Amino acid sequence: MRIEAENYFLEVKWEETQPKKAKPISEIMEAFVKKLEKDAKQKVPIHGKRSTRVFEHEALVLSLKSVTEERIYFWHCEDSLRIIILRFVFKLMDTTSQTIIRQVLDSFKCHGEEMSVWTPPESTFKVPPSFQLTDRKMLIGRTYLLLIEHKLAPFAERRREILFEYNSMANIRFEDEYKDLSKWMEKRYLKDLKKRYRGIKFQSSVEEKIDGHLAVVKKGAGRSGLTTRRSSLYANTTWYCEDLNRIYTVTTSEHIARPWPLRRRIDERAFEDFSKDFISTIRCH
């Protein structure tokens, strides 16, 4: 997984291992350096190596310095049986860069937690570990993550989705709409959302406070399909974060698909609790 911002990028890689057959971390680091040198067709400028700990595990840190500055962390998670490589690349290693590294390392969980913590640049949220990242786009102006939880049942497919998105430089890009979130959604966002979720129809709208900001919350439903029919519930929460000049828009949804004529029913109360619980974990600045 790779996250890009204007002055840096963050990359996470992992590889499953067999019990008692994992290679030493030093060998993993050496292999990583050799691959970098092969790709660059030149020697890698190693600035330093040291030991540390990441989420209870012994780790090695590799420092590289050329036109960019890098910190690359290597460790073996015995609990999840994975070799993990966490790579930071900055234009300049300054106080802000060090703060980003510390925040990511402090929030990084590679095993055994009740909730998984996600840290898009300068924001965080938590989801159950059953949610898997299935789609993402991280650009300077727009970032989104799509996480999905699948549940199989006899003659039915159930899933929950979380679409977390923000648009940067809001007061410049959306000068006429960023203070009117309903107008922004209608003019700038709803068309794209309907492409992803065909048949979505919002039926109500209220205002709530999200992380100190006034948000517009819309709730709706949808149906689709012929021989296999799908019913869906949706909740969209949109707010403007003055601290980072971003418009955040988060859509939670639940879907059930069953062959016709079997009935399709979603527990509305449980879906509402799921949506509220997720929104409560978001920190947007």
Q: What is the CATH number of the domain that holds 30?
A: 3.40.1000.10
What total number of domains does the chain contain? 2
Classify 120 as helix, strand or coil. Answer: coil
Domain check: are 94 and 132 in the same one? no
Specify the pLDDT at position 92: 87
Task: Name the residue with tokens 């300049």.
Answer: 92
Classify 84 as helix, strand or coil. Answer: strand
Cα–Cα distance, 55 to 262 (Å, whole number): 47
Domain check: are 214 and 256 in the same one? yes
Cα–Cα distance, 201 to 218 (Å, whole number): 10
Amino acid (one-letter) located at 244: L
Q: Which helix (H) or strand (E) holds 25?
A: helix 25-40
Specify the pLDDT at position 89: 93
Cα–Cα distance, 280 to 132 (Å, whole number): 19
Q: Which CA distances in Å does 58 have to 46, 75, 77, 83?
A: 21, 6, 9, 12
Specify the pLDDT at position 228: 66
Whole-model pTM?
A: 0.61
Specify the pLDDT at position 113: 56
Specify the pLDDT at position 90: 93
Specify the pLDDT at position 186: 92
Specify the pLDDT at position 122: 85
- Could you state, in chain order, the average pLDDT of each consecutive group of 10 residues for the chain (285 residues)? 79 80 88 90 89 87 91 88 90 89 82 76 87 88 92 76 96 92 93 90 88 91 74 94 95 86 78 92 90
Domain check: are 165 and 250 in the same one? yes
Last residue of a domain, one of 68, 89, 112: 112
E strand intervals along 185-245: 201-210, 213-224, 228-241
Specify the pLDDT at position 146: 95
Residue 120: inside a domain:
no
Specify the pLDDT at position 21: 75
Domain check: are 13 and 84 in the same one? yes
Domain check: are 175 and 74 in the same one? no
